[in-house]
Amino acid sequence: MPYGTPRQVEAEVIRLIELLGAEGGYVVAASNAVQPDVPIENILALYCTARDYRYSREPVRSCRRASLNRSE
């Protein structure tokens, strides 16, 4: 997650859900912790994609690629 783009993270999350979660029971999560060098946009891509996929069975554009206002 630290080196990919949010779109790459999104694509990998969907790939893993479809591969490993075909029969249910797959829990999407970063291994055991999110390392400090992972961009917040990639963390949001991971969890938002998983959430959106869970409730719609296909990704939707709710919070994925959410941009943060870094000036605040």
| Confidence bin at 72 (pLDDT 50/70/90) | very low
Query: Is 34 within a domain?
Result: yes
Instruction: Residue 17: name the closest of 28, 30, 6 by CA.
Output: 28
How do residues 6-61 score in pLDDT, each as one tens digit? 999 999 998 988 888 878 788 888 778 889 999 999 999 998 888 888 766 655 55
Residue 54 exposed, middle or buried by CB count within 10 Å (0-12, 13-18, 19+):
exposed
Query: Is 64 within a domain?
Result: no
Number of domains in the chain: 1
Query: Is 28 within a domain?
Result: yes
This prediction's pTM: 0.72
Query: Is 32 within a domain?
Result: yes
Query: Is 43 within a domain?
Result: yes
Of 65 and 15, the one with more pLDDT = 15
Query: Is 61 within a domain?
Result: no
Is 5's pLDDT higher than 90? Answer: yes
Instruction: Residue 64: name the closest of 52, 56, 2 by CA.
Output: 52
Domain that holds residue 35: 6-56
Query: Is 62 within a domain?
Result: no
Is 69's pLDDT higher than 80? Answer: no
